[in-house]
């Protein structure tokens, strides 16, 4: 049984989100940060089973409250310890399965698209991988904030699903060149922000897709870590190329994201303007099936494990 320390909660877990970093960790390609549980799982939902009453009061929590949390590890378990600052109340009207799908993707999208890339109303965002958990979150958040959205996806069916979620345009990258399509759709002006989970050879093409003062944010490197780019374009168009990872960041950094999400995003979820997109749920003992689905790239939205309570 994990034991919560100062500033931590013990959560009785009913649902655990599945994310691509879990697959990378399982295959030995994502080292666990020092001092973090080697049990996979970066997001959970359940009820508070243990915690310091005075510390919980600061965040408006008490024993038995339903919460969801971002954790650095240990989420695939019936009990999980989470820093208080990374816990949020389950939005009104949501199940624990839906709540478990929120923290990793919403924290990541808010931090990178809005805090880092400063996406503004009426700007255009290109999302690589619009049907992923990150993608469906970014589509809805960007549209809710008044931006235009273009996505890429690997099939016509996935493209249709992205448009149904609010994307203005969806490009099947298997049948169309996304660089050509972005130039066509923006009348040659390019997009203001790109959220990239591929990297590799995509980066050079993405730089070509950016408008003046455009921002490229890299959050994963599924396509490799190297790319030859046109540095002249970066200079002439005043482009920003940046990136980030969330897991190793300090608790205070993640707490700030949590509070931003509570203020700006949770009301949109509770009003129904933004909805969790759950593709599949699996019993926890079938986690291998959940990973197989993740690796197949057949899903649209999130995959969630359940621990006997939905």
- The dihedral region occupied by 33, where left means phi > 0, alpha psi between -120 and 50, and beta the remainder, is beta
Q: Which domain holds residue 229?
A: 109-243
118 and 239 part of one domain: yes
157 and 234 part of one domain: yes
Domain boundary among 243, 264, 281: 243
259 and 226 part of one domain: no
74 and 89 part of one domain: yes
Could you tell me if residue 176 is inside a domain?
yes
Q: Report the CATH number at residue 191.
A: 3.40.50.720
**Are 24 and 41 spatial neighbours (Cβ–Cβ below 8 Å)?**
no
Reading the chain (310 residues) residue by residue, the pLDDT tens digits are 999 999 999 999 999 999 999 999 999 999 898 889 999 999 999 999 999 999 999 999 999 999 999 999 999 999 999 999 999 999 999 999 999 999 999 999 999 999 999 999 999 999 999 999 999 999 999 999 999 999 999 999 999 999 999 999 999 999 999 999 999 999 999 999 999 999 999 999 999 999 999 999 999 999 999 999 999 999 999 999 999 999 989 999 999 999 999 999 999 999 999 999 999 999 999 999 999 999 999 999 999 999 985 4
Whose tokens are 């624990």? That residue is 96
155 and 268 part of one domain: no
Instruction: Give the count of domains, the chain.
Output: 2
- What predicted TM-score, i.e. pTM, was given to this entire model? 0.95
Q: What share of the chain is helix, strand, coil (3-state, %, to 5)?
A: 35, 25, 40
**Are 17 and 103 spatial neighbours (Cβ–Cβ below 8 Å)?**
yes
176 and 259 part of one domain: no
| Burial of 232: CB neighbours in 10 Å, binned 0-12, 13-18, 19+ | exposed
258 and 212 part of one domain: no
206 and 269 part of one domain: no
User: If we measure between CA atoms, which residue out of 173, 161, 99, 96 comes closest to residue 135?
Assistant: 161
44 and 98 part of one domain: yes
């Amino acid at each position: 049984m994990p034991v919560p320390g100062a500033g931590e909660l013990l959560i009785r877990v009913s649902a655990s989100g599945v994310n691509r970093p879990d697959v990378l960790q399982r295959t030995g390609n994502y080292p666990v940060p020092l001092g973090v549980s080697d049990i996979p799982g970066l997001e959970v939902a359940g009820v508070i089973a243990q915690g310091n009453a005075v510390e919980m009061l600061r965040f408006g929590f008490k024993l038995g409250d339903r919460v969801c949390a971002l954790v650095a590890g240990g989420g695939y378990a019936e009990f999980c310890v989470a820093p208080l600052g990374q816990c949020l109340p389950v939005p009104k009207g949501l199940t624990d399965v839906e709540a478990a799908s929120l923290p990793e993707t919403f924290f990541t999208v808010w931090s990178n698209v809005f805090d880092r890339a400063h996406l503004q109303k009426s700007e255009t965002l290109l999302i690589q991988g619009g049907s992923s958990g990150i993608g469906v979150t970014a589509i809805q958040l960007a549209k809710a904030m008044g931006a235009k959205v273009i996505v890429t996806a690997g099939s016509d069916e996935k493209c249709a699903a992205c448009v149904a979620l609010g994307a203005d345009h969806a490009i099947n990258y298997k049948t169309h060149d996304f660089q050509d399509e972005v130039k066509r759709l923006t009348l040659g002006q390019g997009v203001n922000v790109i959220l990239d989970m591929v990297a590799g050879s995509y980066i050079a093409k993405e730089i070509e897709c950016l408008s003046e003062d455009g921002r490229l944010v890299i959050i994963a490197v599924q396509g490799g870590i190297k790319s030859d780019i046109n540095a002249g374009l970066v200079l002439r168009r005043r482009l920003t190329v940046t990136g980030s990872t969330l897991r190793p960041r300090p608790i205070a950094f993640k707490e700030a994201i949590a509070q931003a999400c509570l203020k700006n995003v949770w009301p949109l979820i509770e009003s129904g303007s933004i909805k969790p997109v759950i593709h599949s749920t699996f019993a926890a003992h079938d986690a291998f099936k959940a990973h197989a689905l993740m690796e197949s790239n057949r899903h649209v939205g999130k995959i969630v494990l359940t621990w006997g309570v939905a």
